[in-house]
Structures are given as C-alpha cells and as structure tokens.
Amino acid sequence: MAYDSFSAFLAALEKAGELRRIGFPVATELEITEFADREMKSPGGGRALLFEKPTVNGTVSSFPLAINTMGSHRRMAMALGLGSIQELADQMQLILKAKPPTSLKHAWTLAMQGLDLLNAKPKHVKSGPCKEVVRRFVNGDQKMVNGPQASAPFTDHQSPITLPTLLDLPIQLCWPKDGGRFITFPCVHTRDPDTGERNLGMYRMQVYDAQTTGMHWQVHKVGARHGKRYYERNERMPVAVTIGGDPAYTFAATAPLPDGLDEILFAGFIRKKSVELVKCETIDLEVPADVDFVLEGYVQPGEMRPEGPFGDHTGFYTPLDDYPVFHLTAITHRRDAVYPCTIVGIPPMEDFYMGDASVRVFLPIFKMNFPEIVDMALPAEGVFHNLVFVSIRKQYAWQAYKIMHGLWGMGQMMFSKYIVVVDDDCDVHNTSEVLFRLCANTDPQRDTTFIKNPTDALDHAQTIATMGSHMGIDATRKLPTEGYTREWPELLRMDAAVTARVDDLFRKLSAPAPVSAAGS
C-alpha cells in the first residue's frame, strides 16, 4: 500500500497507537534528541514522536517535526505498507524463483525485470503537492566556489505564506559537540553524467547558512562516484534533496542496492504504485511529486569544506573532514509540510530497524548466490558494518570461509569488520546464542581469518581511514575433513514430549510458561 503523503503515514501510525504527539514547544537544539533517544531505547523502540511546536533558537517553527517513525519492527513494516518485512522478502524470492539466476549480476538483472513487470516504473507528472510553495533564490546561479553565501530575497512564489530558507526548517542540533545543525533524513537525488542513470542515497547535510550545506557522501557511495565524474568533466553537478513523502523513499535511499539499481524503481516496487516524478524548478532533475520538501541546488566541482563534528551512528563523534558543498537554488514544499528526521548515536537507534529491514529484504538475493545461507543478522551493537552473524547449512570443509569471502565481496557488505559464521540450528537474531556458539565452538587460532578490505569511512579504529583488516570467525561445528578427528559433541536438547507435557502443566498452573529452550 502506498502513502500519498508523509502525513498519511503519520495518520496510520496514530491510528495504530504508534504515535505520540507532543503539543508543547521543544527545542530542536538537543532537547528533541533527548526525547527521541529515550524513546528509541525503550523496549521495542518506543513510539514515533510528533513535535507539533519544535523551536529554532526559541521561535516555534512553521513546520512540525516527526522522529522515530521507523524505529521499531512494526513501524518499519508500516512505513513500507506491510504487515511484516517478511512479506517483501517473500516477493523478492518469488521474482527470483520464477527463473533461478546463475550469478549475482543475473540475480539483480532478474530482480530488475521483476520490478519492471510489477509496474514499478515511475510516471512523469506536470506538478504535485511538493510545489505548493516555491521559493527560488536569485543569486543561486551567481554563487560560485567559496563565494559569500548571503541569503537573497525571493523572486517569485505561489503562496502568500512566508517563504522559507533552510534556517526556517526545524533542523536539529543533535548532540552537544556537533559542528552545527544537520538534516538527518535527506534523500539525495543525483544522475550519472555519462549514462543518465539516477541514484537516490541518504547522505546527511550540515547546514552552514541559509543557502549552503555540506554533502556528506562518503567515498564509497554512488553520489560520490557521480560527483567524481562531474569534477572530471568540470561541470556543475545538479543535486536535488527530498525530505518526506512516502516513507518508502527514505527507506530506498538507505537500502544498500548495488550501484546501477534505481532506487526510484525499487520504491515503486515496494509501494506497489509508480512513483510520480515532477521536474525541479531550477535544475534538470526529477523528484517524487508527493514529498514534503525539495531542496534544489548544485555541487561545484572541487569545492570542499570542513564538515562535522557529528555525533554519529558509531556512537562517537565523527571528526571534521572535508566534504563537497551543496548550494541551494530553490526550496519547494507542501503547504502542510512535516519535517521527518532521526538521530543517530549509541545503539540501539531508529536506523537499526532500517538496516535490519534491508537485510531481510535482500536475504533472498544473498541466498540465491549462497544457497547454504539460512539467515543473517546485523546486531544493533555492530552499527551495521562492525558485526555480521550468518548461519549456514554446512556441507563441506571450510565452507564458512567461502561465505565470509563472498560477503566481503558484495557491495556494502565489504565493510563488515567481523563476520561470525554459525550452523543452521543457531538463531542469529539471538546474540546471546551466537556468542555461546562462538565461545564454545572455536579454537581462536584455527578458526579465524584476517583479510584486507575497504572499511566504512566512519570507522575510527583503523590507523588509516577507509582501509583496514577484517576478521572472519568460523563458529560452525568442525568436520573430520577439516582435520577435527575427534567426535564433535552433541548439543543438549530436551525431549519434545517432555517439553509439551511441561507446557501443559504450566497451563494448569494458569501461569505463563517460560519459553522452552528445546528444539529451537
């Protein structure tokens, strides 16, 4: 089911008892973080929060702010119009099963064709709600590299209401030592200047002034690759940033799709309705017509500016680093726009549920390539890239190593710092169970491997940023063919009949039975 606006999603959350409205003024400077952090760390991810009167420097903003809207398994599924994320994974599986792929590339090609079949192709429309209020900045075209960024008066508009600059949006100052305010849910639309291929990625944006922000696409990301081509051609790069609209866009922007797979198509597939695209006012790009805000602008080749510090999803402040600069040429928005955002920090946070959904949706694709994979989890403590648990149906010697190397070669899985492989009877979503297997089943020297690979740009542990070692741990039971000639011991399990009988007896006590460990 598609939402025709972000507000429609909020209404669905409210109806489901998943939204809490906060009617009094709360500061976008730190206070919203403190509210949201408590909510995100409460059992199951708490509720979504709608701040009706967020304040910016003491003044109530014209726009309400929503946070933690995807911060639980249930809300993440609701964001994609689903009862559970598994429904989407099953659809992926169906597409792939129709014609089993022979390679990873083939799998994605088939998935793409499947998406096409499901009418996921975008439509082009003349206008839409995101154009209800339009503000162009006259000096947008004159502003070149490193120029002063004075806010210019508006040239035209379609509405009598006050026309905003970035300073009017309720953009948060997230953590005490952040370098400024950051847009935390920006969907960044770019195009490959050579092929015309679209990309949608989420890269945070630090607000420098009313018309200028940072553009934090890390070196491994598709936005950065597009940028590099514009720099090489010495052409100004058009960039459109959307905020809000159907939450499927926000999810698609974060999903680790392979380079070349169109996130707009993917969003259309998720919402089972074509995305309606509308042309921007000041740049040659298209954006979904139903979003809440569109920030139109450009990145100038070669222009870099220190970005950060930022309280990051690693749980640490990312220090200052040079990143490209985004210059605003127009803001358009819905009249009733809501500003969606998140915070990142010490896990668990909202982004854990987004990452978890990605893993579930793409698991069928991993399995197509590695049929022995049973399940996979990225526990919250590993903040996506630091820790991967994968269970396999092991058939032959050193199969665990094949899986590790396979994953290290797949897209953003290349960042995985530790990969732990366990047998198929271990629940990878139960960290305690995985640690038990890891401790019990490994000989540290025999069962580990170290490799060199690119690392996440945010990882502060490496001596040199963006490259480092990665460790694989084989916590599966060892085979005679792997040199383990003693008999591997048997795991304790209760008889199923006894478990059932004790369940019955508990019912007689009319007390809830503690869950049995047997037969998991």
Ligand X SMILES: Cc1cc2nc3c(=O)[nH]c(=O)nc-3n(C[C@H](O)[C@H](O)[C@H](O)COP(=O)(O)O)c2cc1C
Residues that bind ligand X (CB under 6 A): 184, 199, 201-204, 216-218, 221-223, 253-256, 342, 344, 351, 354, 412
Q: Strand 133-136 to strand 48-51: parallel, antiparallel, or no bridges (unpaired)? A: unpaired
Instruction: Tell me how far, at minimum, the Cβ of 76 lies from ligand X, in Å.
Output: 11
- Nearer to ligand X by Cβ, of 216 and 334: the residue is 216
Q: Which of residues 150-189 bind Mn ion (CB under 5 A)?
A: none
Q: Which of 178, 246, 262, 312 is catalytic?
A: 312
Distance CA(109)–CA(115), nearest Å, equals 10
Minimum separation from the CB atom of position 42 to ligand X (A): 19
Least separation in angstroms between residue 399's CB and ligand X is 28
Selection from Mn ion, ligand X, none that 516 binds (CB < 5 to 8 A by kind) is none
Considering beta carbons, is residue 5 or 254 the nearer one to ligand X? 254
Task: Give yes or no: 312 in active site.
Answer: yes
397 versus 414: smaller Cβ distance to ligand X: 414
Tokens of residue 465, six digits: 């940023």
Please answer whether residues 495 and 517 qualify as being in contact, where contact means their C-beta atoms are separated by less than 8 angstroms: no
Report the first-to-last Cα separation within the chain, whole angstroms. 34
Residue 19 or 253 with smaller CB distance to Mn ion: 253
Question: Contact at 8 Å (CB) between 479 and 394?
Answer: yes
* CA pair distance 167, 98, nearest whole angstrom: 51
Piece in contact with Mn ion (CB under 5 A), picked from 123-131, 152-160, 211-219, 255-263: 255-263
Q: Which is nearer to ligand X, 212 or 254 (CB)?
A: 254
State the residue number with the nearest CB to Mn ion: 222
Q: Does 264 bind Mn ion (CB under 5 A)?
A: no
Least separation in angstroms between residue 400's CB and Mn ion is: 30
**Which positions from 189 through 208 interact with Mn ion, judged by CB under 5 A?**
199
Beta pairing, strands 54-56 & 26-27: parallel
Q: Does 358 bind Mn ion (CB under 5 A)?
A: no
Q: How far is the CB of 205 from ligand X (least distance, A)?
A: 8
Coil, strand, or helix at residue 316?
coil
Candidates 65, 120, 166, 222; binder of Mn ion (CB under 5 A) is: 222
Coil, strand or helix at 472: strand
Q: Kind and range of the H or E element at 401? A: helix 399-408
| Residue 302 and residue 324 in contact, taking contact as beta carbons nearer than 8 Å | no
Decide: residue 415, CB within 10 A, 0-12 exposed, 13-18 middle, 19+ buried. Answer: buried
Minimum Å gap between C-beta 348 and ligand X is 13
Residue 127 CA to residue 281 CA, distance in Å, equals 10
**Residues sharing a CB contact under 8 Å with residue 280, sequence separation 6 or more, in sequence order:** 238, 240, 286, 287, 294, 296, 330
Amino acid at residue number 96: L
Report if residue 88 touches Mn ion, rule: CB under 5 A.
no
Question: Which of ligand X, Mn ion, none does 338 bind, CB closer than 5 to 8 A by kind?
Answer: none
By three-state DSSP, how is residue 331 classified? strand
Binding site for Mn ion (CB under 5 A): 199, 222, 257
Catalogue the active-site residues.
Answer: 312
